[in-house]
Amino acid sequence: GQNIDQPTEMTATEGAIVQINCTYQTSGFNGLFWYQQHAGEAPTFLSYNVLDGLEEKGRFSSFLSRSKGYSYLLLKELQMKDSASYLCAVRDKRSNYQLIWGAGTKLIIKP
Amino acid sequence: EAGVAQSPRYKIIEKRQSVAFWCNPISGHATLYWYQQILGQGPKLLIQFQNNGVVDDSQLPKDRFSAERLKGVDSTLKIQPAKLEDSAVYLCASSSTVQYFGPGTRLTVT
């Protein structure tokens, strides 16, 4: 079957680094996406991994290991505005290339 | 480049009433999605269009929900009659490789 797991909530301190993990099970893996969603707003695209390794984009990086069914989103130099939910989603080529979504990780940043 | 447009942003209706949501995708995006999102959960796919054809509507409650995408551009999602459990945010997204979301419609059914 298809399954996406990520922690429900994490807390971190302003200026620090936090890693949000995501594990997945799918038979038709075709890429992994991370989205940021502030309260009351729509998800916004952060990153896309289709090959193993690390993709860096400013303060945010995303890592993928297809053999382990594992990804993480790394946020550096945390700012208060990074307080949001972070959604992991896997594209499944056996399901019309739809995104299978995790429930999201609520990240709380403390001063 | 203009993003995905949705309207209305907020809607409050009584149960058993009807409601319609509108979506205009990013220009050139052939694939359009409607999602329902309940607080604390990931988006739940309701229907996927490719141009003006339905690819997947297996999770659309067809006894009360309907959607169309005439001419392969704009789309409307309708609920009739609404139930209390339909209170949620309704998101429209369009994609080439990456899905981009509109601002969503927050529906409250009382």
What is the 3-state secondary structure of chain B? Answer: CCCCEEECCEEEECCCCCEEEEEECCCCCCEEEEEEECCCCCCEEEEEEECCEEEECCCCCCCCEEEECHHHCCEEEEECCCCHHHCEEEEEEEECCCEEECCCEEEEEC
- Per-residue pLDDT of A1-49, as tens digits, reads 678 999 999 999 999 999 999 999 998 999 999 999 999 999 999 999 9
Distance in Å, alpha carbon of A41 to nearest chain B alpha carbon: 6
> Residue A1: its pLDDT value, please?
66
Output the pLDDT for position B70. Answer: 82
Compute the distance between CA of residue A47 and CA of residue A72 in angstroms, rounded to an integer. Answer: 11
Average pLDDT over residues B21-29: 96
Tell me the mean pLDDT in the region A76-86: 98
Cα B84 from Cα B110, distance rounded (Å): 6
* Residue B95 neighbours by CB under 8 Å, 6+ apart: B29, B31, B33
Please give, one letter per residue, the 3-state secondary structure of A30-73: EEEEEEEECCCCCCEEEEEECCCEEEEECCEEEEEECCCCEEEE
| Euclidean distance between the first and the last CA atom of chain A, given in angstroms as a whole number | 41
pLDDT at A64 over 90: yes
Contact B104 A33 (CB under 8 A): no
Closest chain B CA to residue A32: B98
CA angle (B26, B32, B95) in 5-degree steps: 55
Other CB atoms within a 10 A radius of the CB of residue A30 amount to: 15
Chain B interface test: which of A22, A46, A96 (most B C-beta within 10 Å) = A96
Q: How confident is the model at residue B73 (pLDDT cuts 50, 70, 90)?
A: very high
* Paired residues of A44 in beta bridges: A36
Share of chain B above pLDDT 90, in %: 90
Distance CA(A43)–CA(A36), nearest Å, equals: 5
Percent of chain B at pLDDT above 70? 99
Residue B71 in this model has a pLDDT that exceeds 90: no
DSSP state of A96: T
Whole-number Å distance between alpha carbons of B45 and A89: 12
Q: Which residue of A has its CA nearest to B54?
A: A96
| β-sheet bridge partners, residue A88 | A34
Contact A101 B42 (CB under 8 A): yes
B103–A42 C-beta distance less than 8 A: yes
Query: Average pLDDT for residues B75-87, to the nearest whole number?
Result: 97
Instruction: Please measure the distance between the N-terminal and C-terminal CA atoms of chain B and give it in whole angstroms.
Output: 37
Mean pLDDT, rounded, for A82-95: 96
Kindly tell me if the per-residue pLDDT of B1 is higher than 70.
Answer: no
β-pair partners for B37: B89
Question: Confidence class of residue B72 from pLDDT cuts 50, 70 and 90?
Answer: confident
* Residue A109 predicted with pLDDT over 90: yes
Tokens representing B55 are 């690819």
